[in-house]
């Protein structure tokens, strides 16, 4: 029976060999790197090709997405035919959590567009 240490040694050796072989086989040349760079009429780009991204806009988008999904969960409540006391309690608790979340985001200033 093969010992555990021999098995681990062979696994580590095989992993190292595969990593080494993949790096040797997949060497990128300078010409291939130039194909991935932006092209401006044969000259090096003068400005960054990436547009700046507003983190505040991203946070407001995430907040909108979260509350939008929660509202879609609340919409079918109107179509429920029989509301039991337990379901009314759960729905009220859910709405209270939503309102507390909006108030918290408002207090933190995450909902204001002007910084």
Q: Domain of 101?
A: 55-108
Residue 115 clears pLDDT 80, i.e. is over it: no
pLDDT given for residue 2 in this prediction: 64
Q: Token digits for 95?
A: 């709405």
Taking only the tens place, the pLDDT of each residue in 43-99 is 665 666 667 777 778 888 888 888 888 888 777 776 665 666 667 777 788 889 888
Q: Token digits for 45?
A: 């780009």
Q: Does residue 6 lie in a domain region?
A: no
Q: Does residue 3 lie in a domain region?
A: no
Quote the distance between the C-alpha of residue 33 and its chain's center: 28
Measured in degrees and rounded to the nearest 5, phi and psi for residue 46 equal -90, -30
Q: Does residue 64 lie in a domain region?
A: yes
pLDDT given for residue 105 in this prediction: 83
Q: Does residue 27 lie in a domain region?
A: no
Per the structure, how many domains does the chain have? 1
Q: Does residue 82 lie in a domain region?
A: yes
Q: Does residue 44 lie in a domain region?
A: no
pLDDT given for residue 52 in this prediction: 74
Q: Does residue 34 lie in a domain region?
A: no
Q: Does residue 42 lie in a domain region?
A: no
Q: Token digits for 41?
A: 């009429």
């Amino acid at each position: 029976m093969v010992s555990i240490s021999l098995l681990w040694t062979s696994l580590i050796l095989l992993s190292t060999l595969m990593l080494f072989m993949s790096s040797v086989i997949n060497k990128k040349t300078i010409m291939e790197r130039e194909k991935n760079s932006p092209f401006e009429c044969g000259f090096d780009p003068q400005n960054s090709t990436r547009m700046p991204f507003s983190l505040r806009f991203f946070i407001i988008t995430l907040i909108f997405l979260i509350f939008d999904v929660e509202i879609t969960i609340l919409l079918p409540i109107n179509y429920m035919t029989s509301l039991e006391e337990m379901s009314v309690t759960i729905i009220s608790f859910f709405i209270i959590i939503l309102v507390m979340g909006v108030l918290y985001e408002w207090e933190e200033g995450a909902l204001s567009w002007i910084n």
